[in-house]
Structure 1
Amino acid sequence: MADDPVVIEYTYNASIDKVWTAITDKDQMKHWYFELEEFKPIVGFEFSFKGGKDERTYLHLCKVVEVVEGSKLVYSWQYEGYVGRSLVTFKLSPEDTRTRLTLTHEGLETFPADNRDLAKENFAAGWAYILGTSLANFLAKT
């Protein structure tokens, strides 16, 4: 369904502490996510970054809305100059010595339907690459 969130799950050969640090430390995030000027896993902390494809980039405006230390991070996700607001949730769960990360990106239907860059399938493909390739490779090297 169009209103269903993107939900992606990966299990990493890494401890929860290691994965938590990777998703909350700006110096580590720049190696697998986006380069952020600043990031703090504190409710109310606002951050932004540019991203996109080809010649079209978007300023992402985000605000941390929930933190459960070591297990859950939630932030809002909007675009400067566009209507819509979504939520990104990272949830970590232990699996023996490994960590399962479940990412949920909801509210995508609030973005302009006439902008194909903001289509649900692009978010699904982007998160699959970010988590399945970039973060997986980063965690394997550290």
Structure 2
Amino acid sequence: MKANETIIVEEQLSAPISVVWDAITNLNSMKKWFFNNIPSFKSEVGFKTQFNVKSEERNFLHLWEIIEVVPSKKIVYNWKYAEYSGNSLVYFELFENINNTTKIKLTCKITESFSDDIPEFKTESCRGGWNYFIKQNLKNYLENS
């Protein structure tokens, strides 16, 4: 993924905005659909957390910092990895629809290029990962909660 590249994933969710907000900001909820090994999380500007994800022989120590919060509307992470160059901003934006449904828009903006040598950092992998998390995991979590 190269600097200035942007990936956008949108999904309509059959849940009110308050429930979706809880799913993307409450640690116990996040562990059920996002990463089950997040050690701590607060939807507060300046909050930082880190956790490792292993893929084949590679470790990806995730480094997150919350840089913007608009309750029930938007949360923005600075997202990078300890072992690799590259940096991104990840936006979760919520839009209330009629009938107590919510549109989520996930935007991943690359602010510093990631290495092309690592399969997980290819654009297709990133897009596939976000589709998996938002269109499958989050949607299934909300429908079955």
Question: What residue number does 1:45 align with?
Answer: 47
Report the more deviating stretch, 49-58 or 60-69.
Answer: 49-58
Gaps of 5+ in 2: none
Amino acid of the structure 2 residue aligned with 1:23: I
Q: TM (normalized to structure 1)?
A: 0.93
Would the alpha carbon gap of residues 10 and 134 (structure 1) be closer, same or farther in structure 2, given more than 3 Å must change? same
Say if 2:138 is the partner of 1:135.
yes
Q: Give a deviation string over 1:29-85, Cα, whole Å, max 9, x none.
A: 010000211000000000112224334331110100000000000001111121111
Q: Give a deviation string over 1:100-142, Cα, whole Å, max 9, x none.
A: 0000001166111222221111110001011111111110111
Amino acid of the structure 1 residue aligned with 2:73: S
Q: Indicate the percent of aligned positions where both proteins have the same amino acid.
A: 37
- Partner Cα separation in structure 2 for residue 18 and residue 139 of structure 1: 8
Question: What residue number does 1:122 align with?
Answer: 125
Would the alpha carbon gap of residues 108 and 123 (structure 1) be closer, same or farther in structure 2, given more than 3 Å must change? farther
Say if 2:116 is the partner of 1:113.
yes
- Partner Cα separation in structure 2 for residue 12 and residue 81 of structure 1: 35
- Partner Cα separation in structure 2 for residue 67 and residue 74 of structure 1: 7
- Partner Cα separation in structure 2 for residue 108 and residue 32 of structure 1: 26
Question: What residue number does 2:23 align with?
Answer: 22
Q: TM (normalized to structure 2)?
A: 0.91
Tell whether the 8 Å contact from 1:34 to 1:49 is kept in structure 2 after alignment.
no
Question: What residue number does 1:10 align with?
Answer: 11
Other structure's SS at 2:45 match: coil
Question: What residue number does 2:104 align with?
Answer: 101
